[in-house]
């Protein structure tokens, strides 16, 4: 009965989404705010992949209609917690007699999200830990939810996105969601990243507790900190320190290790009292091939050179340009919007003029969707980079991106 209810609700959301898109295609004014409210109300209760998709969409707030982006952003800040009785069910499934492992588990979640929630606990030895608990039965409903998500993604045909490309986008999304249910893989990622950055005193990563972890629960050391989304009003020195560390870390991940943390939800990052960057969640880590990095750097180089023909060539190589007729005017406007962040000297990521220009481009990007389409194998990468950019915006980062990218361009040129 519960699964049928989920299916009906997802199908209803798909119908409302399709109605809004159809109204836009027919020249009307879609009520994006109402649609966003419906998505929030439905998906925050459903949990699972559909809510995760909406959270991912919310991080593309430079492209989505503003009213829709504002409503979806609530899914990053708020998620109705699963009742304790259901979480207790998952804990018993993992441990049997919970009291053989813990003297206390807080019923109120430390954090809640789309695929699970986190509770603080105290071990028999007196150590405070956190338990990331997978929502009961989530693996069972995953495939059912994904079928409905595929239908929603299929609405992209109205924007002339080929079915083959939509299928490829869906498969990358589905693979990423299935990976997030693999707590063993996340525990291994935590261990790998702790070893990788053990000599970097600016970065803190929780320790996985393998002896307390399993299929349904991931146990980690408790690392307290101020969530990134709460740092907007923090001291400027702290914000700039965290922003610099975040930018350095992303660069090192891409250009040294060929990986990237692909869940840039602001709740996955925090700062401790010393201003060190804390990275909590490693459920989504993706490999980034060297060829993909080079192609993206060629696109950035062409953009900063204000060369629309070179931008088109780079997009073709990325697989993001289809059909006939390069939208050269759109390329020029994009270059004019992005270039200010890469001028010599420190640039302010909180400069609203940049965001305004990017948002003004949104309708033009949608209108050119028959020629500009997301490369099928870069959904998670694009989402991650976009989300990390907006985290820097939240921190009001001031970075010299010109100085940062110059050696990266040279590195790519030498390959």
Q: Which residues are tagged catalytic?
A: 263
Contacts of 367 (CB under 8 A, 6+ apart): none
For residue 42, which of 77, 16, 22 has the smallest C-alpha distance?
16
Query: What are the DSSP calls for 265-315, one per residue?
Result: -GGGEEE-TT--EEE---S-EEE--HHHHHHHHHHHHHHHTT-HHHHHHHH
Q: Are 310 and 297 in contact (CB under 8 A)?
A: no
* Cα–Cα distance for residue pair 247/253, rounded to 1 Å: 10
Q: Which two tokens stand for residue 228?
A: 């990134």
Question: Which ranges of 126-162 would DSSP assign to H, the alpha helix?
Answer: 138-153
Contacts of 315 (CB under 8 A, 6+ apart): 299, 321, 372
Query: What does the angle CA 296 – CA 301 – CA 302 come to, to the nearest 5 degrees?
Result: 100
CA count, 13 A, side-chain hemisphere, 196 = 15
Burial class (CB in 10 A: 0-12, 13-18, 19+), 342: middle
Segments of 91-221 assigned E as strands: 102-105, 111-112, 116-123, 128-134, 203-204, 217-221
306's torsion region: left (phi>0), alpha (psi -120 to 50) or beta? left
Q: Are 318 and 295 in contact (CB under 8 A)?
A: yes
* Cα–Cα distance for residue pair 133/219, rounded to 1 Å: 9
User: How many helices and strands in the chain, by DSSP H and E?
Assistant: 15, 13
3-state helix, strand, coil in the chain (%, to 5): 60, 10, 30
C-alpha to C-alpha distances, 128 to 100, 122, 210, 220, 384, nearest whole angstrom: 15, 5, 15, 9, 31
């Amino acid at each position: 009965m519960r699964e049928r209810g989920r299916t009906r609700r997802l199908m209803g959301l798909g119908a409302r989404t399709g109605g809004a898109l159809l109204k836009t295609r027919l020249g009307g004014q879609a009520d994006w705010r109402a649609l966003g409210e419906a998505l929030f109300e439905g998906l925050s209760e459903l949990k699972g992949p559909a809510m995760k998709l909406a959270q991912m969409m919310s991080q593309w707030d430079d492209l989505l209609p503003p009213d829709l982006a504002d409503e979806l952003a609530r899914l990053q800040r708020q998620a109705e917690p699963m009742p304790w009785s259901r979480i207790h069910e998952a804990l018993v499934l993992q441990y049997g007699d919970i009291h053989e492992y813990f003297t206390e588990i807080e019923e109120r979640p430390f954090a809640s999200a789309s695929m699970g929630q986190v509770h603080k606990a105290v071990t028999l030895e007196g150590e405070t830990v956190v338990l990331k608990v997978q929502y009961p039965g989530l693996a069972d409903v995953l495939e059912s939810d994904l079928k409905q998500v595929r239908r929603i993604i299929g609405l992209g045909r109205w924007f002339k996105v080929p079915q083959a490309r939509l299928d490829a986008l869906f498969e990358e999304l589905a693979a990423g969601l299935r990976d997030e249910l693999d707590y063993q893989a996340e525990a291994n990622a935590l261990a790998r990243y702790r070893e990788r950055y053990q000599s970097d005193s600016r970065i803190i990563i929780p320790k996985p507790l393998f002896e307390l972890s399993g299929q349904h629960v991931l146990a980690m050391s408790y690392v307290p900190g101020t969530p990134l989304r709460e740092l907007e009003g923090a001291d400027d020195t702290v914000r700039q320190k965290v922003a610099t560390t975040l930018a350095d870390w992303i660069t090192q991940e891409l250009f040294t290790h060929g990986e990237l943390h692909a869940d840039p939800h602001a709740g996955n990052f925090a700062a401790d009292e010393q201003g060190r960057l804390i990275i909590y969640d490693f459920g989504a880590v993706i490999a980034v091939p060297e060829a993909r990095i080079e192609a993206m750097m060629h696109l950035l180089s062409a953009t900063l050179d204000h060369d629309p023909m070179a931008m088109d060539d780079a997009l073709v190589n990325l697989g993001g340009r289809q059909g006939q007729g390069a939208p050269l005017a759109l390329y020029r406007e994009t270059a004019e919007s992005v270039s200010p962040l890469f001028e010599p000297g420190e640039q302010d990521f909180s400069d609203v003029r940049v965001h305004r220009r990017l948002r003004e481009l949104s309708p033009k990007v949608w209108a050119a969707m028959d020629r500009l389409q997301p490369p099928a194998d870069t959904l998670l990468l694009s989402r991650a980079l976009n989300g990390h950019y907006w985290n820097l915006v939240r921190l009001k980062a001031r970075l010299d991106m010109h100085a940062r990218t110059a050696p990266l361009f040279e590195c790519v040129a030498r390959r």
